[in-house]
Amino acid sequence: MLAAGAAAASTAIILAGCSSAAPEAEAPEEGAELTLWISSSGAAEPIQEYMLDWAEEEGIALDIEIHPQDQYQNTVQLAMTTGNAPDVFQLSSPRNLMQAGYLLELEGLLSQELLDVYGSEFVENGPISIDGHLYGVPTTANPVRLTYNKEIFEQAGLDPEAPPTTFDELRDACEAISELDGISCFGLPLAWVALTTWILEPTISTTSDVLASPGLFDREAGEFVFTEYTPVVELAREMIEKEWAFPGASSLDGGPMLSAFGEGQIAMYIAGYQSSIVADYPEAVENWGAASVPVPDGATSVRGTFNSGGPFGAFAGTEYPAAAAAVIEELASNELAAELVQAGLALPMRSDFDAGAITDISDFTRSYWPTEADTQWPLSPAPDLEIQGETYIQVIQRLILGDEDIEGALAEIQVKYQEAYDEAVADGDLDGEYFTG
């Protein structure tokens, strides 16, 4: 639910009004000295500059470190296990951190105003809460879109205002674009850790109201449905075989893929909003478009999908919990959001954000803003399971590069995950109702 002047984001995590009362936030401890870690992106340095100015005004000693995005998750995990954790940090794989006890519970530390903005559903059942306990606050919304280069479409004889909406239309577009010298149709970074979740999976999950991510899980049936990946895995394999994908897909990571798109070497990719390429290629942005992701032939898109982005949390062992919460609150403020949104570096998250005050941003950035069709994807139990041997993500990567029967292999790994899930629920290690509600 965005403020006046913008479309509403119909999502369980952005609801006005919090049903349960919470105490007012505690004042930051005197003499607080904190470390804040941020994952590198186009927004990282503006956030750093803003937060240093704010901390100086508040009398908080704040040291800010920006860590490489492609190493950030491992850097955070290592810090947690070696006793070198920062006080406040951008969360990567927050559920794992919550379950391991590394994150500070934020009840009583955040203001009622902020809790009201996000709403009771977010606090009680959001992506950064467990059993009604809140461990982090997202700062941006990040819808998944098909991003494409309109100029390349025109060069290939395609309508730049009519991007593909189905897999067959995507194939037709790739056939046309393949005639152009030095340009690949699609960015398929198989080495990117988010390949399945952010590129492949949205083309399937958007066709159903009950599919959870990451790791397709039918919340109504309480069952994994990995065979639903079949058409998108077939398409990805075809892209490799027909050389529609950018060269070196097997070792291509997300960063280099985005750079190739920014330089006009790739016509399309699927992902969330990437502020880094907006910052790195400001003159090229006017040639870019974003649209709903294409879906398998015969399927219908029933919703958009997004993840709450840029979440920040605090280390459970911080000496200054109230000051850490104050830092998180400011990171989620409308004042910082306005600077980032105006610069095209982020998308608004808060329900009280004044979108009407934002002017002079690119059509490309606006096309990524949440709409009424966009919903926070519900959580799948897949990341919580202990799986021996190959994971479903590794199987999918292998299938894309190989010639094995796709549906059969997906059915096999589906059974493996279902057995692990059923066992975890039966043993009380997982709450089945959380994933099927």
Task: Determine the average pLDDT of the residues in 212-216.
Answer: 92
Residue 214 and residue 396 in contact, taking contact as beta carbons nearer than 8 Å: no
Task: Determine the average pLDDT of the residues in 151-157.
Answer: 98
Statement to judge: residues 37 and 117 lie in one domain? yes
Task: Determine the average pLDDT of the residues in 267-271.
Answer: 96
Residue 356 and residue 3 in contact, taking contact as beta carbons nearer than 8 Å: yes
Q: What is the pLDDT of residue 437?
A: 66
Q: What is the DSSP letter of 128?
A: T
Between CA 218 and CA 226 the distance in angstroms is: 10
Between CA 80 and CA 396 the distance in angstroms is: 30
Q: Which of 310, 306, 364 is nearest to 336 (CA)?
A: 310
Q: What is the CATH number of the domain that holds 302?
A: 3.40.190.10
Share of the chain above pLDDT 90, in %: 62
- SS3 call for 304: strand
Q: Is residue 88 part of a domain?
A: yes
Residue 34 and residue 321 in contact, taking contact as beta carbons nearer than 8 Å: no
* pLDDT class of 21 with cuts at 50, 70, 90: very low
Q: Is residue 397 part of a domain?
A: no
Statement to judge: residues 220 and 271 lie in one domain? yes
Q: Is residue 64 part of a domain?
A: yes
- SS3 call for 2: coil
Q: Which helix (H) or strand (E) holds 141?
A: strand 140-143
Q: What is the pLDDT of residue 22?
A: 43
Statement to judge: residues 125 and 206 lie in one domain? no
Cis peptide preceding 163, ω within 30 of 0: no
Statement to judge: residues 215 and 341 lie in one domain? no
Q: Which domain holds residue 83?
A: 33-139+310-350
Q: Is residue 436 part of a domain?
A: no
Domain boundary among 237, 272, 306: 306
Task: Determine the average pLDDT of the residues in 242-266.
Answer: 95
Q: What is the pLDDT of residue 85?
A: 95
Domain boundary among 277, 306, 335: 306
Statement to judge: residues 172 and 243 lie in one domain? yes
Statement to judge: residues 274 and 316 lie in one domain? no
Q: Is residue 417 part of a domain?
A: no
Q: What is the pLDDT of residue 359?
A: 79
pLDDT in tens, 45-95: 999 999 999 999 999 999 999 999 888 989 999 999 998 999 999 987 777
Task: Report the DSSP pairing between strands 312-314 and 211-212.
Answer: unpaired
Task: Determine the average pLDDT of the residues in 119-144.
Answer: 76
Statement to judge: residues 117 and 189 lie in one domain? no
Q: Is residue 420 part of a domain?
A: no
Question: Residues with Cβ < 8 Å from 151, sequence gap 6 or more?
Answer: 160, 264, 287
* pLDDT class of 124 with cuts at 50, 70, 90: low
Statement to judge: residues 85 and 46 lie in one domain? yes
Highest mean pLDDT among 36-50, 125-139, 269-283: 36-50
Q: Is residue 252 part of a domain?
A: yes
Q: What is the pLDDT of residue 2?
A: 29
Task: Determine the average pLDDT of the residues in 246-256.
Answer: 94
Domain boundary among 324, 350, 376: 350
Statement to judge: residues 38 and 107 lie in one domain? yes
- Name which residue leads in pLDDT, 83 or 397: 397
Task: Determine the average pLDDT of the residues in 241-258.
Answer: 95
Q: Which of 299, 292, 246 is nearest to 270 (CA)?
A: 292
Statement to judge: residues 195 and 333 lie in one domain? no
- SS3 call for 154: helix
Statement to judge: residues 246 and 275 lie in one domain? yes
DSSP 264-294: TSEEEEEES--HHHHHH-TTTGGGEEEEPPP
pLDDT above 70: residue 25: no
Q: Is residue 367 part of a domain?
A: no
**Assign residue 279 a region: left if phi > 0, alpha if psi is -120 to 50, beta otherwise?**
alpha
Count of domains forming the chain: 2
Statement to judge: residues 191 and 153 lie in one domain? yes
**Packed helices 392-401 and 406-426: angle between N→C axes, nearest 10 degrees:** 180
